[in-house]
Amino acid sequence: MEKEILEKYKKAGEIAKIVREEGEKLVKPGVKILDIAEKVENRTRELGGIPAWPLNISINEVAAHYSPSQDDETEIKEGDVVKLDVGVSVDGYIADTAATVALSEEDKKLVEAAEKALEEAIKLVRPGRNINEISVKIEEVIKSFGLKPITNLTGHGLEQYMVHAEPRVPNYKSEYSHILKEGEVIAIEPFITGGRNYITEEDEDRGLTYSLVQVKPCRLREARQIIELMKERQGMPFSERWINIKGVKLKLAMRELKDRECVEVHRILRGDSKISQAEHTVIVLDEPIVTTR
Ligand code: MN
Ligand code: MN
């Protein structure tokens, strides 16, 4: 990996670590998740990064992809299990990291299992290692806590401006095989539950994020404005919060962008019981670098 690119990955990772930790401290009963999202995203920009996606704040049985909308009144409640998934881009070189805050004693084990599985997985990263060995270890640790991995959410590779690239990093023993190569960048992210071991996409229309995936001629001026605004993100997800168009005009513009398949909607992913997650980004080298730790 070129030194310049390595430095960008490292800078993104340093910023992501700082804002994740600051975000975790904000997770308390009665706090609006909209405030947490805005603080973390603003801080990311202040530190010289760009949010690679709107801060994801997924609570309890929601595994991933929830980010508060402009008018979101959701508050953290006593006993919630709150996952913060942070993305930071420096020129498209991404740091992807997540942590879970459990506000009740009984859910601390869920968090501990995710962190332990992640740490044990990271110890196995090196060039020449087959990812399936890492997957086996993750599952083994999770099961030692009497819990289950979510099987249809995996870790993944990262490439410039690409949040989900090859290879995958499954959280359980599977047929998937990939030999890690020097210079690959991977995000490892066990998702853990005591309930159903898979998530489904939710139909709901709140808390969504979007990616601009293709540019097509649009009828509405506001739709064209959104395209212009989001082009430079090169496909990285965005929130309606980041658009200075409000109310009906925004709704109609977003509808046209969806209908014309200019934007992809990232649906909220939900299980049937509380879910925890821990995630770091790792650069595969003889001495691997965990950019977000
Ligand atoms: Mn993530
Ligand atoms: Mn990830």
pTM of the model: 0.97
Annotation marks residue 139 as catalytic? no
Nearest to 230 by CA among 252, 212, 245: 212
CATH number attached to the domain at 209-266:
1.10.10.10
Model pLDDT, residue 205: 85
Catalytic (active site) residue 65: no
Q: What is the pLDDT along the chain (293 residues), one digit of tens a residue?
A: 999 999 999 999 999 999 999 999 999 999 999 999 999 999 999 999 999 999 999 999 999 999 999 889 999 999 999 999 999 999 999 999 999 999 999 999 999 999 999 999 999 999 999 999 999 999 999 999 999 999 999 999 999 999 999 999 999 999 999 999 999 999 999 999 999 999 999 988 889 999 999 999 999 999 999 999 999 999 999 999 999 999 999 999 999 999 999 999 999 999 999 999 999 999 999 999 999 99
Summarised one tens digit per residue, pLDDT across range 108-131 is: 999 999 999 999 999 999 999 999
What is the rounded CA–CA span in Å between residue 281 and residue 262? 29
Which among 72, 189, 222, 256 is annotated as catalytic? 189
C-alpha dihedral, 124 to 128 to 131 to 136, nearest 10° = -50
Q: Which pLDDT value is given to residue 155?
A: 98
Tell how far the Cα of 70 is from the centroid of ligand 1, in angstroms. 22
pLDDT, position 204: 85
Residue 100's nearest CA partner among 113, 87, 119 is 113
Contacts within 8 Å (CB) and 24+ apart, 109-113: 109/145, 109/147, 110/81, 110/147, 110/192, 110/193, 110/194, 110/274, 110/275, 110/276, 111/81, 111/276, 111/278, 112/145, 113/141, 113/142, 113/145, 113/147, 113/190, 113/192, 113/276
How far apart CA 62 and CA 121 sit, in angstroms, is 24
- Where do we find the tokens 């919630």? 80
- 22/48 Cα distance (integer angstroms): 16
| Domains 3-202+272-290 and 209-266 equal at CATH topology level | no
Is residue 183 left, alpha or beta, with left meaning phi > 0 and alpha meaning psi from -120 to 50? left
Domain boundaries, the chain: 3-202+272-290, 209-266
Q: Tell me, in angstroms, the distance from the centre of ligand 2 to residue 231's CA.
A: 22
**3-202+272-290 belongs to CATH 3.90.230.10:** yes
